[in-house]
Structure 1
Amino acid sequence: RVIKLKNNYRSTQIITEASKFLIKNNRKRIDKDLVSVGKEGDPIMLFQAKDAQDEADFVAEEIENMIKDKEYVYKDFAVLYRTNFQSRAFEEAFLRRGLPFKIIGGIGFYRRKEIKDILSYLRFIVNPSDAISLQRITNISDTTFSKIAPYLTEISDAEDCKSVINNIKGIAKVTKNKLIKVFELRKSILPHIEEKRVYPIVGRVIRESGYIDILKKDDMYETRLENVEEFLRACQEFDKKEQGDLFLFLEEISLYTDLDVTNPDEDVVPIMTFHSSKGLEFRVVFIVGVEEGLIPHARSIESIEELEEERRLFYVAMTRAQELLYITYAFRRNIYGNTLFTQRSRFLDEIPKRYIKNITERDSKFIDK
């Protein structure tokens, strides 16, 4: 026996009706006619950003404006996205403005393993005496590394490494080869570190270190690869904005890695994937990156079953909103090093236009207070 729950006590009538029209396009579902017992509510606000950074700035500014009106606190909001790599732009936008946030169901972008690995390569290239970074990228045990660390100040290149390491007792050949390899990498990259473009340097480090091949052995390869690609996009944005060298880039990144809101008792904006949002509810929800290839995800487009699962995820995200729902997408995104023009998600066309209000200005304070 199937019991159908028809009353929606969470969302406004508009959000409930709009999400109902969306999910009706799934063939494999329990047919239930949800009815909101709440007020009619405001229309869904749809915003097209210029790019990922503009999208994140818009969300941050909207939250700032609504907080200033003193009708909301930070934990009333939520930012939801389909894929983990999308968090980076929002983390940076929030940190620049001093908006408190917390990554739910995951960790901050710059604290993810693959990003810390790449940063360790870069920090080692800048400073070969950085023992923490060197141990991370070589994965040498604490016991063995404790024998090597005192001699790091004597090593600046592969030749130094060979002569110094050979005089240390108890170092296995495989460990020596690891160390020589990273010092050879440093020698290759070193002539370029003062150039005013970081993206080519980071790309070269990833390529010459064989880091992608290392990632292929990881069970989370696809997710980690997406994060590496997002890091490269961050490098391109830095080159466009700052035109600084690797030293300045690492200084800026340190601002994002040193600041992190993790106390669950604090008043913070939760940032999370659609999956992590299940069972939660917020007064105001921002669903971001609503574009073909992201939602529905590129890997799900060819399968009807997987496409329906993507639609169900989007439905879950929509129905997390109690009072206000924002949906955003970008006109263009930087993908695989190329700027591509995007197409908004097909799911938006499944929502009747009468439930949507397009936002054309950055300040969308059209809501009657």
Structure 2
Amino acid sequence: EKDYPGCKVYRLEQNYRSTKHILSVAHSVVRNNKQRLPKKRWTANAKGEKAKVLAFEDQIAESLYVVTSIREELHDNGRNFCDFVILYRTNAQSRVLEDALRAAGIPYIIVGGVRFYERKEIKDVLAYLRLICNPKDSISLKRVINFPLRGIGDTSVEKLEQFAQESGIPLLEAAGRADEVESISARIEAQIKQFHNLIRKYACLRVELSAGELARTLVDEIGILRKFKATGTEESYGRGENVGELLSAVDNFSKRHNSNDLEHFLEEVSLITDIDSWDDRSNAVTLMTLHSAKGLEFPVVYMTGLEEGLFPLSRSLNTNEELEEERRLFYVGATRAEERLYMTWAARRLRYGEYFENLASRFLEEVDDRFVERIDLRRTYRERPHTEHPRGSTNGRRQRQEETMPAYEDFSQDAQSFYVGCEVRHPSFGLGKIVGMDGSGETAKLSVKFYDVGVKRLLVKYAKLETVG
């Protein structure tokens, strides 16, 4: 309009897909964007049922409700599996939803992505865990001996394999004797032996640490999350979140089965991947991120994970432009629904192996109550804090979110004399103060508020903290 002031503007305002209630839900949120042309969407479709906003205790309860609701829709309304879509903001959220659908025997497909346990970063971490449990697993060893990059190329691995065959020993044992392979350079030999020592160390730690603690400490030491975070792309953030979700899966397995045996978890994962190799794609529930949903439509839509810091993403709160893009994404998700729309959130969510308290997304607050039915299905109802900043203000929310969102790093360390209020220094995070402590001695877990990067959770036995003053 600025470039061509005499042009005539035609606004495409009619929606042919959704009911009046669903369209009103979407409009009541997106109208809060300031950088948009004024327009009012309308539809000639029926008013339809009110959308539902549902609060749950955690992500397990949320996923079980989705499965139960799908079953009820199938039974009561004669729907097919292909009538449903489950939407989420980040790929990592699919894991718990996949588990619930699989347990219920409901076929599903993931559009615009791959199933959780088929993602590269998940396969890489699982290969480490399998090798720790079974030192003779040469396939897993070859997958991760150069991940993260150690400068160990295919030629060096082939020489190591030849040495192992000639000596009649497993490949991992050959790695520990790399100095006996004359054709491998001293630099590569050192990297191979360092890898061997890493695997052996964690094989010994299996009797000292729980499955969840071992997996988290391993991920910390090999630096996968730091690598993803340093890359700084949307894709790398997503990969980091997937690894964090895998750590949560290990913890959740231990709690469900009252078992800290890592092998049992790996056996379950193997069973899952075998089941996933069969899939009736002609009639299945669809799972996808909100970004992948543009242009599609389904009779029934579940928008999950509507929590501050997750949707909208915490990093989108830095600028109005990014926040408005998240709001447009909400509009896209809501208007994928033709007949029924369910919007869900969890009061706490397991991320990186720990539970974090959540606030409902500001988008749910912006929805006009005339068009939704709000249902609280938590075991214990929690009032929103009275000190909450007014709608539209991000400062209070951002501060709360920075304090509660999980960090990409979770370090640990040698035993020293630590106490709440003690000042410490970390080689990467700098100076900070201990604000919480769980346990004592080498197994103590510390919450440290670093002056530059915020709160981090640290395990004393393996981190590199030193006291100051």
TM-score w.r.t. structure 2 length? 0.71
Are 1:131 and 2:144 counterparts? Answer: no
**Matched position secondary structure for 1:136:** helix
Are 1:359 and 2:371 counterparts? Answer: no
- Give the equivalent residue in structure 2 for 1:294: 310
- Give the equivalent residue in structure 2 for 1:193: 206
Are 1:25 and 2:32 counterparts? Answer: yes
In 2, distance between residues paired with 1:107 and 1:255? 17
Q: Cα RMSD over matched residues?
A: 2.4
- Residue type of the partner of 1:176? E
In 2, distance between residues paired with 1:345 and 1:261? 36
**Matched position secondary structure for 1:285:** strand
Are 1:51 and 2:58 counterparts? Answer: yes
| Cα 1:59/1:2, change in 2 over 3 Å | same
After TM superposition, give the deviation of residue 359 of structure 1 in Å. 3.4
In 2, distance between residues paired with 1:27 and 1:63? 37
**Matched position secondary structure for 2:318:** coil
Higher relative contact order (CA 8 A, sep 6+): 1
C-alpha distance after superposition, 1:28-63 (max 9, x if no partner): 112222111111111101211111111111111111
In 2, distance between residues paired with 1:334 and 1:260? 24
Selected match of 1:228 from 232, 239, 243: 243
After TM superposition, give the deviation of residue 336 of structure 1 in Å. 4.2
**Matched position secondary structure for 1:42:** coil
In 1, distance between residues paired with 2:77 and 2:351? 38
| Cα 1:181/1:64, change in 2 over 3 Å | farther
| Cα 1:211/1:360, change in 2 over 3 Å | closer
Larger % of helix: which? 1
After TM superposition, give the deviation of residue 69 of structure 1 in Å. 3.5
| Cα 1:77/1:227, change in 2 over 3 Å | same
Selected match of 1:116 from 120, 123, 133: 123
Q: After TM superposition, list the pairs within 5 Å mapping 1:55-134 onto structure 2.
A: 55-69=62-76, 71-134=78-141
- Give the equivalent residue in structure 2 for 1:367: none
**Matched position secondary structure for 2:344:** strand
- Give the equivalent residue in structure 2 for 1:206: 219
Rg: which structure is higher?
A: 2
In 1, distance between residues paired with 2:16 and 2:77? 25
After TM superposition, give the deviation of residue 181 of structure 1 in Å. 1.9
- Residue type of the partner of 1:161? A
- Residue type of the partner of 1:207? D
Selected match of 1:149 from 132, 137, 161: 161
After TM superposition, give the deviation of residue 156 of structure 1 in Å. 8.1
Selected match of 2:175 from 145, 150, 161: 161
- Residue type of the partner of 2:346? A
Task: Work out whether residues 4 and 32 of structure 1, in 8 Å CA contact, stay in contact via their aligned partners in 2.
Answer: yes
In 2, distance between residues paired with 1:173 and 1:138? 17
TM-score w.r.t. structure 1 length? 0.90
- Residue type of the partner of 1:145? V
After TM superposition, give the deviation of residue 261 of structure 1 in Å. 6.4
Task: Work out whether residues 196 and 239 of structure 1, in 8 Å CA contact, stay in contact via their aligned partners in 2.
Answer: no
Task: Work out whether residues 14 and 40 of structure 1, in 8 Å CA contact, stay in contact via their aligned partners in 2.
Answer: yes
Task: Work out whether residues 102 and 262 of structure 1, in 8 Å CA contact, stay in contact via their aligned partners in 2.
Answer: no
Task: Work out whether residues 109 and 281 of structure 2, in 8 Å CA contact, stay in contact via their aligned partners in 1.
Answer: no
After TM superposition, give the deviation of residue 215 of structure 1 in Å. 3.6
Are 1:309 and 2:322 counterparts? Answer: no
In 1, distance between residues paired with 2:181 and 2:12? 71
- Residue type of the partner of 2:211? V
Task: Work out whether residues 185 and 208 of structure 1, in 8 Å CA contact, stay in contact via their aligned partners in 2.
Answer: no
Selected match of 2:11 from 4, 18, 30: 4
| Cα 1:14/1:338, change in 2 over 3 Å | same
**Matched position secondary structure for 1:272:** strand
- Residue type of the partner of 1:25? N
Q: Which moved more, 1:335-344 or 1:166-175?
A: 166-175
Q: After TM superposition, list the pairs within 5 Å mapping 1:214-253 onto structure 2.
A: 214-216=227-229, 218=231, 219=233, 220-244=235-259, 245-253=261-269
- Give the count of matched residue pairs: 360
In 2, distance between residues paired with 1:335 and 1:320? 28
Task: Work out whether residues 104 and 270 of structure 1, in 8 Å CA contact, stay in contact via their aligned partners in 2.
Answer: yes
- Give the equivalent residue in structure 2 for 1:277: 293
| Cα 1:204/1:129, change in 2 over 3 Å | same
C-alpha distance after superposition, 1:71-101 (max 9, x if no partner): 1111110000111111111111111111111
Selected match of 1:260 from 271, 276, 293: 276
In 2, distance between residues paired with 1:70 and 1:14? 19
**Matched position secondary structure for 1:229:** helix
Task: Work out whether residues 157 and 184 of structure 1, in 8 Å CA contact, stay in contact via their aligned partners in 2.
Answer: no
After TM superposition, give the deviation of residue 20 of structure 1 in Å. 1.4
In 2, distance between residues paired with 1:15 and 1:2? 26
Task: Work out whether residues 292 and 344 of structure 1, in 8 Å CA contact, stay in contact via their aligned partners in 2.
Answer: yes
Selected match of 2:190 from 177, 180, 183: 177
| Identity fraction in percent | 38
Task: Work out whether residues 101 and 261 of structure 1, in 8 Å CA contact, stay in contact via their aligned partners in 2.
Answer: no
In 1, distance between residues paired with 2:214 and 2:335? 44
- Residue type of the partner of 2:119? R
**Matched position secondary structure for 1:212:** helix
After TM superposition, give the deviation of residue 213 of structure 1 in Å. 4.2
Q: After TM superposition, list the pairs within 5 Å mapping 1:34-45 onto structure 2.
A: 34-45=41-52
In 1, distance between residues paired with 2:208 and 2:108? 34
- Residue type of the partner of 2:256? K
In 2, distance between residues paired with 1:203 and 1:175? 27
Task: Work out whether residues 136 and 172 of structure 2, in 8 Å CA contact, stay in contact via their aligned partners in 1.
Answer: no
- Residue type of the partner of 2:255? K
In 1, distance between residues paired with 2:264 and 2:368? 48
After TM superposition, give the deviation of residue 12 of structure 1 in Å. 0.5
